[in-house]
């Protein structure tokens, strides 16, 4: 049986310089606008490239970017009133207030 040798070395304390980064606040709206502009500017090229790659499954990144900037799916028109769901109609007929609805909408459901 061989004896294993332990390596012993004298470790001298080392001085480590730490660089402290001071980050300035970022204007999130400006950052979002810059990202939106870059994605939209490259959108047509991404679609052209991706059309040939879809069969290989290379479309998820593009889809994510388009969803992130609101390019896909198309945004709903905010002017169209939202129809009442079946649950909202039943709650309204039973006289039960919907806690998640704004105060103005609750008044319409409770009779």
Lowest-confidence region among 9-18, 38-47, 48-57, 66-75 = 9-18
What residue spans define the domains of the chain?
Answer: 28-71, 84-111
Spatial CA neighbour of 89 closest among 67, 109, 65, 59: 109
**The pLDDT value given to residue 58:** 78
Spatial CA neighbour of 75 closest among 84, 83, 66: 66
pTM: 0.42
Summarize pLDDT for 80-109 with one digit per residue, the tens: 556 667 778 777 888 887 666 555 554 454
């Amino acid at each position: 049986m061989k004896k294993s040798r332990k390596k012993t070395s004298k470790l001298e304390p080392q001085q480590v310089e730490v660089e402290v980064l001071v980050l300035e606040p970022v204007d999130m709206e400006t950052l979002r606008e810059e990202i939106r502009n870059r994605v939209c500017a490259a959108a047509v090229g991404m679609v052209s490239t991706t059309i040939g790659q879809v069969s290989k499954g290379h479309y998820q990144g593009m889809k994510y970017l388009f969803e992130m900037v609101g390019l896909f799916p198309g945004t709903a028109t905010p002017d169209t009133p939202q129809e009442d769901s079946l649950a909202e109609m039943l709650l309204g007929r039973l006289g039960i207030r919907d806690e998640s609805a704004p105060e103005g909408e609750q008044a319409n459901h409770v009779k």
